[in-house]
Structure formats: C-alpha cells, structure tokens
Amino acid sequence: MAIDTRVIGTALPTTTLTIDRGRLRFFAKAIGETDPIYTDVEAAKAAGHPDIPAPPTFLFSVELENPDPFAFLASMGVDLRFVLHGEQAFTYHAIAYPGDELVASPRITNVYTKKGGALEFVVKHTAITRADGTPIAELNSVIVIQNPGVKP
Amino acid sequence: MTRAESIVVGTELPPLQVGPISRLTLALFAGASGDHNPMHVDLDAAKSVGLPDVFAHGMLSMAYLGRLLTNWVPQDRIRSYRVRFAAITPVHGEPSCTGLVTHIEDVDGERRATVELAVTLADGTTTLTGDAVVAV
C-alpha cells in the first residue's frame, strides 16, 4: 500500500476542546504528576498561575477529542493496528488553563516511504489556538505505518 | 526550582525515575489523554497483529520527560520540546528520564539552553530521545 502523495497539504477537520480542571487532574494522575501546581488551584496561584496549567504534552490531546481522530489515516487505506508514533514536537506560545476553548487545526505536510515501502511516514502539523485566535502552540507529528506485507 | 544563573553547558537535570508501568496506568492514560488506540489496553488487539502483549503509549513517556522539565524550570520557560520514539515501552517497563544541557545561546535577547533528553528502561533500552529549548 502506498499513500497517495496528493494528500500533502490537505487540511483536516478542526477539533475543539474546552479545558476543565477535572480533565487536567485526571491527566496529572495518569502521568504520575506530583507537583501540586498541576492539581491544586491554590498551589498554582502561589506559583503565579491564574489556575492549574495544562502540562506541556497535554496539548496533544486536543485533536484526540475528535470522535474519530484517526479517520484520516483509515481513509488513506491505513490499517490502524500497524501505526506507530515516530516523532512529536511542540513549539510553545502560551500556557493553556481551565476555561480555555482550544482549537486544533491539523494539516498533512508530508508523506514519504522508506525501505521499499515497508515503512510509510505521514507528517502532520497542528496549530493550537484559543477560540479567539490567540496562539498556544504548534505541534508536528510523524506517524509511521508498518506494512508487514512489503519486504524491505 | 533551579536558579537560572547556575545553568551552564554540562548541567544535568535531576533525573526522574518512574515506577513500573501498570495496565491500570495505561487505562488511565488512554482515558485522560484521549488516545483510545486498543494496542495500549486491549490484549486481544495486540495479539491480532502478533504482539505478545500491549505496550505503553509513546506520549506517556513524553509526558514523563515533560515532568522532568517542569520539575527543573517553570513551564512558561519551555520554548520547544520534541522527541523521537526509538523503541516501544512494554508493560511493567520502568522509564528513567534524564536531561543534559548541551548548548546555551542568546536568542531575541533571551538566554536559552538546549537540553538533550532521553528515556531508558532498566535493561538499557533507549525508548525516547529528544531535546527541549528552555529560557534560562
């Protein structure tokens, strides 16, 4: 299977997530976070924050709020069981806090193969902004698709 | 928190050792992160592609490295942060997160440190490598 390179440049559907304290505390618990500024509003305020901050990698979750976040891969013929996360990058503009309505705007920026098609790569750029357009972060993801039927 | 002026090339970040990753942790992270890929929580799905077991989300390890960074400097000083996922992390893996300042330069009137980052398991496998740029 080879992904059609004409998908390069395609804008994917935007996704919106309104952050709340409960979700951030759940995320903090899941990652074993022990710094109280990520769970306790008073500790966050004492550290100069208006509320508990969304930790650095939480922003990856905005896009996953889409009811079917990997539909774009499936629509390209990818078997999702063979997908791996290759690389992930964040460039930060501002910290997000509870009450922020975050908008993720993803776009496919590259598609290429290696090892004679045994590995395919999809590169995606996602801008995260508040609903008013204030930039929060830029994300770049490299998604790796293993094609077990192709011998390198 | 670390005093900014004490950060120089060669400064090592206080390491972060994470306990064995349990299946409960993977279930919690699936829900909290919104990554519901069954390969991380559903043994049947893992076996359907010939894997012996589920494996941890790469973004869970990246979150642990994020904790290493925010334990070291306030989060608003992190300008960028990126990783490459080099190997999967099995259930019960014990990630060890480390960081080393390798470069310092002035950018836009701001002193910035580049931190080389890595996550390794007890058996020596490197699961993530990456770097962050931090205002110091």
Q: Which residues of A touch B76 (CB under 8 A)?
A: 95
Give A81's pLDDT tier (boundaries 50, 70, 90). confident
Check CB contact of B51 with chain A, cutoff 8 Å.
Answer: no
A49, pLDDT greater than 60: yes
ipTM of the complex: 0.95
* Residue-level pLDDT at B3: 64
pLDDT in tens, B84-120: 999 999 999 999 999 999 999 999 899 999 999 999 9
Q: In what order do the strands lie in the sheet with A101-114?
A: A15-18, A101-114, A119-130, A135-146, A83-92, B78-85, B126-135, B110-120, B96-107, B16-17
| Nearest CB partner across the interface for A90, out of B19, B35, B80 | B80
Check CB contact of A36 with chain B, cutoff 8 Å.
Answer: no
* A13 vs B2, higher pLDDT: A13
A116, pLDDT greater than 90: no
Beta carbons of A38 and A24 less than 8 angstroms apart: yes
| Nearest CB partner across the interface for B59, out of A48, A85, A140 | A85
| Nearest CB partner across the interface for A88, out of B34, B70, B83 | B83
